[in-house]
Structure 1
């Protein structure tokens, strides 16, 4: 006999869970002590939102569901932003929330909310573990659905009286992931014919083009590997969404970086000029297709695990709904090699010249000019994780990326506050160096997770762009109204803030100093914060 809480933890162990991120609560007492006696590391965080972001990024980088834990009431509501971020960014995550005893849930009681109903719109599936007999099945289902394409979030609510009950149930075996069928040959033939006949074909690489698939596959992406084979065979240009960065190497002459790259929007102009778009793993939640298909004149071929969303500006001529790597392999075999479709390599050259241009010594600090220096300090396999704000736009558009899952951008929910906790999760998930880029606004939302990272002995770099403003909102207000309001901030001394956590703090004053600092801290095994004051 074991307690139901012990059974839950045994199920998590069977699923291969290494870390559970969360905040303890009295309703979770049995679960916490079961975790203590397990092989799973429980990571107490400073905020439930930080815990959910950690699980989100862990899931995105490993392909295995990250797990976050909170108590009932405010713990559960605090968890929701990070869970919703995983849901819209298609990151596998399982959230577990405590709940009061069932004897008081039929009436108004302390901290009791209908958490299952609250989570319903932001997860693929959720349920209450209302009886010991349902725990093993529910945990297996939560992980299966969270990790199955398209991945996302699942939620389990665990009442404290159920957690204390004894049971003879055991975990379910974990089987191989469900794999979608190979693509329909007729659809492949139609798509290949459309793409071959096009005069200006282009590939749009989305989030699904870089996601890792197999359990334990790390950051490798079979979809990316297959896409690279197709592009090399055809010589066709590729433009990525922000979350599709690294689907092909930006060193390749076919790469146009992302949809908004180039000093004058050259990548956007190229995809608008294209007469056939092969959209691979494209997510409408990430980037509105009206931006690149405004006149409804572009022929679209949709390749994804699910049918296309119904949308006036995204109405594909052909939909290949199947396993993405298998679909790309079939298309590569069906399309003739050496068709000479590289019709905009000059765009690649202009974009690369722009994003790699280093600043002049007297140029004021800017995000855009920091990026070539940062890129030079990072190896190809190092991971850059971007928070949300004006710096995210610069990173998405101007940071060359050479490998899949090495530039992590939140762009579905696009929630501020992800980078510091996300950097922690990235440092746990991979051996590469990690840089967490953030603005001053997003940093102070979850900056306390520096203590969590320090406690775990982690070493990654926080690159903090400080403009004392919610800068992206100011920019948009200026564009619309030629003025801005409600965006100014007053910040603490960020170097002193970092040093109060016993980590290095740097505030370079010149470009040479910034380059020296980044070359020192990025490959270091110690944690550091580098503040770049924007003018």
Structure 2
């Protein structure tokens, strides 16, 4: 007779789950052996946070929920950062945690926490599977809510006594996804009028512009109307940065050209923009701009983000409708000269005697990568440089955590990206973020993954030091010591490089990045 754990795995198979990332534990023993007997691959990771980051990036790249699994207590709490990152960054993730027998939950007991209460503030939906009969409904709801726009994280708790109960039931079939609504004509007409009447309109492309696959509609609109585009860090690639309309991101340009452009703009068309990505006070400090909000959800109530028009509908359909309402000569590419300066600054290769910095490395990294290759950035000073100065040519090819902004995402995220795409993958990380989840290199070798880890080493929590010096003229509590990263990587059997000149950096990147092998390059700053 099949058990509830068998049924849960059947439901995962019905959701077309290929992999579950996690750390084994006593309270999920039944579920692990049910996975063993299924078509799903269980990927044992070295830490639950790594498992959650893998599910996070896998979900962001594929649009299908990544799944992470842990036991109760510390296993569940270790998932929290990665699950919260997925929620803030709008990545579809289903987290499953084990739990002790229900008879222990009313009292203090070994490793027993109120995990539902822990997860409640950080997920879209959260439930205990308290009875085998509700397994199919619970799993189907968890995936439906995780994957529906706007996506995010959901959580299921699975007590071990429920897992081993016998039941004969079937999964709920997946039906066609809920259709996203079309825009209403009145809102589209008002938006088109605002844009046509503006002297200097600009599109602000956010996370939803790449997440909802709306990039084709943005590109069509921009090509016809020649409206400039500036992206948030998570909206990079909504249009190609080669396009004369692109100003890269809000902070791009050697002299702040992108900030200059959005400062001069009188109408901002915010496409798939989440306030958590970038505070609107930075680009609308005086409340003088007209704003068109295009997203699947109404705008957050925020003093510096008061839209004149809100189009709450499918983003691609909304942009196509706006495009239809505006005459081709209504707009002009009023800041092309800014684009040229920004792109030149971002693609100029360093001279041999230039200092070795993150910013100077990025043109060489970009040259070593194809347009469709994926860069997964960790959080730190290098993230800011990547966001501002790494040209991006296709949607979802520069993965930046900027909602929760979690350090430690790059290595497990690159592993997931390597599994999710056919492109070459690079993890860009600092020494601080790298060592937070460096153990997942073992997971990568075990899975025969092939990606390149670029470690920018300044032996410091550099971004914090920079901010402290700016605020106080000195730094404290940020300096680090590190192992020999080359020897560390080689201990996993990974080819490693420590270039000391620009010609050596260029050669190392050209060798490692296009390769199908796992490699590490340490860039000492």
TM-score (norm 1): 0.98
Contact kept? 2:209, 2:238, Cα under 8 Å:
yes
**2:211 counterpart SS class:** coil
Contact kept? 1:250, 1:256, Cα under 8 Å:
yes
- Which of 383, 406, 409 is 1:392 aligned to? 383
**CA distance in 2 between partners of 1:171 and 1:405 (Å):** 32
Alignment of 1:456-495 (within 5 A): 456-495=447-486
Contact kept? 1:235, 1:339, Cα under 8 Å:
no
**2:375 counterpart SS class:** strand
Indicate yes or no: 2:321 matched with 1:322: no
Q: How far is the alpha carbon of 1:335 from its aligned partner? A: 1.2
Q: Please give the per-residue CA displacement for 1:136-176, whole angstroms capped at 9, x wherever unaligned.
A: 00100000000001000000000000000011221000011
Q: How far is the alpha carbon of 1:233 from its aligned partner? A: 1.3
Q: Please give the per-residue CA displacement for 1:203-254, whole angstroms capped at 9, x wherever unaligned.
A: 0000000014xxxxxxxx2x00011011111101000000000000000000
Q: How far is the alpha carbon of 1:177 from its aligned partner? A: 1.3
Q: How far is the alpha carbon of 1:338 from its aligned partner? A: 3.3
Aligned equivalent of 1:80: 80
Aligned equivalent of 1:215: none
Aligned equivalent of 1:262: 253
**CA distance in 2 between partners of 1:114 and 1:335 (Å):** 54
Aligned equivalent of 1:533: 524
Aligned equivalent of 2:47: 47
Aligned equivalent of 1:217: none
**CA distance in 2 between partners of 1:359 and 1:520 (Å):** 19
Q: How far is the alpha carbon of 1:339 from its aligned partner? A: 2.8
TM-score (norm 2): 0.99
**CA distance in 1 between partners of 2:460 and 2:179 (Å):** 46
Give the root-mean-square deviation of aligned CA atoms: 0.6
**CA distance in 2 between partners of 1:340 and 1:63 (Å):** 34
What runs of 5+ residues in structure 2 fail to find an aligned partner? none
Aligned equivalent of 2:435: 444
- Which of 396, 403, 409 is 1:412 aligned to? 403
Aligned equivalent of 1:65: 65
Aligned equivalent of 1:24: 24
**1:167 counterpart SS class:** coil
Q: Please give the per-residue CA displacement for 1:463-515, whole angstroms capped at 9, x wherever unaligned.
A: 00000000000010111111111100000000000000010111001000110
Misfit runs of 4+, over 4 Å: none
What runs of 5+ residues in structure 1 fail to find an aligned partner? 213-220
Aligned equivalent of 1:434: 425
**CA distance in 2 between partners of 1:72 and 1:250 (Å):** 45
**1:230 counterpart SS class:** helix
Aligned equivalent of 1:500: 491
**1:166 counterpart SS class:** coil
Indicate yes or no: 2:349 matched with 1:358: yes
**1:2 counterpart SS class:** coil
**1:225 counterpart SS class:** helix
Q: How far is the alpha carbon of 1:179 from its aligned partner? A: 1.9
- Which of 273, 285, 292 is 1:282 aligned to? 273
Aligned equivalent of 2:135: 135
